Amino acid sequence: MFNKETEYALRSMVYIQAQNLKGRKPGVDEIARATEAPRHFTAKILHRLVRGGFLLSAKGKGGGFHIDQEKPSVNIYDVVTAVEGQKIFSGCVFGLKNCSNESPCPLHNRYKSIRESLGELLSNETILSLAQKYQAYQ
Amino acid sequence: MFNKETEYALRSMVYIQAQNLKGRKPGVDEIARATEAPRHFTAKILHRLVRGGFLLSAKGKGGGFHIDQEKPSVNIYDVVTAVEGQKIFSGCVFGLKNCSNESPCPLHNRYKSIRESLGELLSNETILSLAQKYQAYQ
DNA sequence: TTAATAAATGACAAAAAGGTCATTTAATAA
DNA sequence: TTATTAAATGACCTTTTTGTCATTTATTAA
């Protein structure tokens, strides 16, 4: 479905949020281990998420990653599009550039409704709601 | 959605089928032009489809590609899985290896139903049914 | 004020996807 | 039976994605 970077980003953020709920700020090592993702690639992705405003980080002893609990939790759709763009939510099944409501391919309308369901599902779920459900991927 | 190879494969097959309906057997050059796909990459993909039993080919003058009109037309789902595997129809949103009906991730069930809709859509449509609707992508 | 800790940074490398090309093989028609 | 046509084949190249690593910067606590 999504590319590796997106998958790791989502797993990391949910893990960080779950740990934050427990008053903890996990570091890269812990996050990579807990999410079963490559250590250094995870570090790179976390850094991108920090620059993108999705995460906060603290250097030095006691440091690690955390999420601003003041702001409303970001939804999954927004994380996905920030990491890998809109392609998944807008492309034609056949990759036709001019496929649209105006000149639809034979699958356009039915595929569109499926895509919209996916978009809704991902928009209605946030990193926080997932963290609360999933409880740190034990 | 799908990778380039799958997109080109689908476009090529629908084009070939549409031309076959008119009694024609298009060659690589014509197919690549008509589907706006790279010439040599298209040749490679067509050859794979021939080896996979999805297409027939004829060498020499008057040659080109065609589809066995005796056999029932193959559905889109089968073309996609033959070209790029089941990943799209089976993977977890978060890329979790052990996500399943037995130990579902928080999005498993709702995502599953969307995936199943997609699978049905693609299973109910064949290269022939699309060719009849689309008429050669003019 | 220094030792320890942990993220930031940027260069690099491996693997996969996407794409090109030259040559060979096979078929057909003149 | 040869010239022409068109697919088959396999080597190669480019770009993108995925992943690694060494070094630097910042923070904290002793």
The structural architecture, per CATH, of the domain B4-85+127-134 is Orthogonal Bundle (1.10)
Nearest CA among A3, A63, A1, A11 for reference residue A37 = A11
Q: pTM of the full predicted structure?
A: 0.94
Which CA distances in Å does A29 have to A63, A95, B59, B84, B97?
12, 39, 58, 34, 20
Residue A137 has pLDDT above 50, yes or no: no
Residue A102 has pLDDT above 80, yes or no: yes
Q: What pLDDT, in 10s, does the model give residues B19-30?
A: 999 999 999 999
**What is the rounded distance in angstroms from the CA atom of residue A69 to the CA atom of residue A63?**
17
Please determine, looking at this structure, whether the domain spanning A4-85+126-134 carries the CATH number 3.30.1360.30.
Answer: no
Which CA distances in Å does A16 have to A33, A43, A78?
12, 13, 17
Residue B64 has pLDDT above 60, yes or no: yes
The string of DSSP codes covering B78-125 is HHHHHHH-SHHHH--TT--TT-SSSS--TTHHHHHHHHHHHHHHHHS-
Residue nearest to nucleotide D19 (CA to C1'): A41
Residue in the structure block whose two tokens are 């040749």: B43
Which chain A positions have a beta carbon within 8 Å of B76's beta carbon?
A: 93
Q: How does residue A128 score in pLDDT terms, banded at 50, 70 and 90? A: very high
Task: List strand D contacts in A 41-60 (CB < 7 A).
Answer: 41, 43-44, 58-60
Residue B138 has pLDDT above 60, yes or no: no
Q: What pLDDT, in 10s, does the model give residues A18-57?
A: 999 999 999 999 999 999 999 999 999 999 999 999 999 9
Please tell me the predicted confidence (pLDDT) of residue B108: 95
Which chain A positions have a beta carbon within 8 Å of B87's beta carbon?
A: 1
Q: Which residues contact A116 (CB under 8 A, 6 or more apart)?
A: none
Question: Could you tell me which chain A residue has the CA closest to the CA of B95?
Answer: A7
Residue A44 has which token pair? 């790179």
Nearest CA among A133, A10, A31, A8 for reference residue A75 = A10
